[in-house]
């Protein structure tokens, strides 16, 4: 959660990440248009949202499961998604105070989707290891 909080600061604003992603894209695809470059930059940034919250979702599932031998998969998953949703909303609220960042309900949805995907993976993994 601390890493996500740090990534919500000015350090990881679109202006700053474009200084790294832009030259890498130009190196990999020398003739790329600025429009395509901006689109790929945006996709990379949104993929980072999904990835961050996917990892958080996995860790939350594991934390809620603890060392339990009982199978309360649905409870652990729902609890994890709720925490992911609340943290995503608080993260966007935090970004509303950062001058180079903007708060977005769409990002809350993207973040939550990462957590939901993590729960699907966790439930499948739990089911598979219980057999």
Q: For 34-79, what is the HEC assignment?
A: HHHHHHHHHHHHHHHHHHHHHHHHHHHHHHHHCCCCCCCHHHHHHH
What is the tally of structural domains in the chain? 1
Rounded Cα distance between 34 and 25, Å, is 10
**Residuewise pLDDT in 10s, the chain (131 residues):** 999 999 888 888 888 888 899 999 999 999 999 999 999 999 999 999 999 999 999 999 999 998 877 778 889 999 999 999 999 999 999 999 999 888 999 999 999 999 999 999 999 998 888 76
**Integer angstrom CA distances of residue 124 from 81, 120, 127, 130:** 16, 6, 5, 10
Report the residue count for the chain.
131
User: pTM for this one?
Assistant: 0.87
Q: Are the C-beta atoms of 32 and 25 separated by less than 8 Å? A: yes
Task: Provide the domain limits for residue 79.
Answer: 2-130
Rounded Cα distance between 105 and 84, Å, is 14
Rounded Cα distance between 59 and 15, Å, is 30
């Amino acid at each position: 959660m601390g890493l996500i909080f740090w990534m919500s600061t000015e350090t990881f604003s679109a202006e700053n990440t474009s200084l790294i992603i832009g030259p890498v894209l130009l190196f990999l695809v020398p003739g790329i248009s600025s429009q395509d470059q901006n689109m790929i930059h945006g996709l990379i940034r949104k993929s980072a949202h999904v990835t961050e919250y996917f990892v958080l979702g996995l860790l939350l599932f594991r934390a809620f499961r603890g060392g339990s031998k009982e199978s309360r998969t649905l409870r652990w998953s729902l609890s994890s998604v709720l925490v992911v949703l609340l943290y995503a909303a608080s993260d966007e609220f935090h970004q509303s105070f950062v001058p180079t960042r903007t708060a977005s309900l769409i990002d809350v949805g993207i973040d939550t989707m990462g957590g939901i995907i993590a729960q699907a993976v966790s439930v499948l993994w739990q089911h598979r290891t219980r057999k």
